[in-house]
Amino acid sequence: MPTNTDLLRQIKDDLLTNSKLPLYEYRTANHYFPVIGEGSHEAKLLCVGEAPGETEAKTGRPFCGRAGKILDELFASINLDRSKVYVTNLIKDRPPTNRDPLPYEIEVYGPYLVKQIEIIKPRIVATLGRFSMRFVMEYAGISEPQLSQTISKLHGQVLEGQAPYGPLTVIVLYHPAAAIYNQALKPTLIADFAKIKQYVV
């Protein structure tokens, strides 16, 4: 019986070698790494960002640049050890100039996230930013009217969804990078993040 680590390694191998991925050529031309994810392979909580930035693509590690510093502050604010969580992104390769992911990229990279969710089987997914919010809400069967609401309406909400393996709670958060450009958002992010605490103790 393969372990979660074995199954996650298969995803890594596929991402490393699949030359049909839309950002594969951009990755290899720049000597970047795909950013698969990091943390506990048995995590109760999965955090899903948008796509790697340059620091992440250069190291292969999620949220290790400026946005990662803010994410670390959020973990510290609820006394949660980051190694107990699994942190990943919807898109596994850095988009040029950190532009928004394209629909086709979400279509191709999204199934890798679904596989990761179904291997780790978290009870809670915290979405960081509007792209992962929308994707995970759809995955968890959260429908209208929430599905088409904006992140400024939904942030801080705890939504009860369903995964094939059981109930899945989705917690909607702003992307940590939003607090780099708008310092006033930091207290909101901290207050929203506090909602995670009851699920991870």
Q: Which of 36, 39, 56, 159 binds ligand URA (CB under 6 A)?
A: 56
Residue 50 in the binding site for ligand URA (CB under 6 A): yes
Q: Is 63 in the site for ligand URA (CB under 6 A)?
A: yes
Q: How far is the CB of 201 from ligand URA (least distance, A)?
A: 26
Closest to ligand URA by CB, 64 vs 159, is 64
User: Residue by residue, what is the 3-state secondary structure of the chain?
Assistant: CCCHHHHHHHHHHHHHHCCCCCCHHHHHHCCCCCCCCEECCCCCEEEEECCCCHHHHHHCCCCCCHHHHHHHHHHHHCCCCHHHCEEEECCCCCCHHHCCCCHHHHHHHHHHHHHHHHHHCCCEEEEECHHHHHHHHHHCCCCCCHHHCCHHHHCCCEEEEEECCEEEEEEEECCCCHHHHCHHHHHHHHHHHHHHHHHHC
Candidates 39, 62, 110, 161; binder of ligand URA (CB under 6 A) is 62
Q: By rule CB under 6 A, what string of x and - marks binding of each residue 114-143 to ligand URA?
A: ------------------------------
- Binding residues for ligand URA restricted to 2-31, rule: CB under 6 A: none
Taking CB under 6 A as the criterion, the residue among 37, 49, 101, 161 binding ligand URA is 49
CB under 6 A: which stretch of 11-19, 38-46, 50-58, 78-86 binds ligand URA?
Answer: 50-58
Stretch that binds ligand URA, among 45-53, 110-118, 142-150, 185-193 (CB under 6 A): 45-53
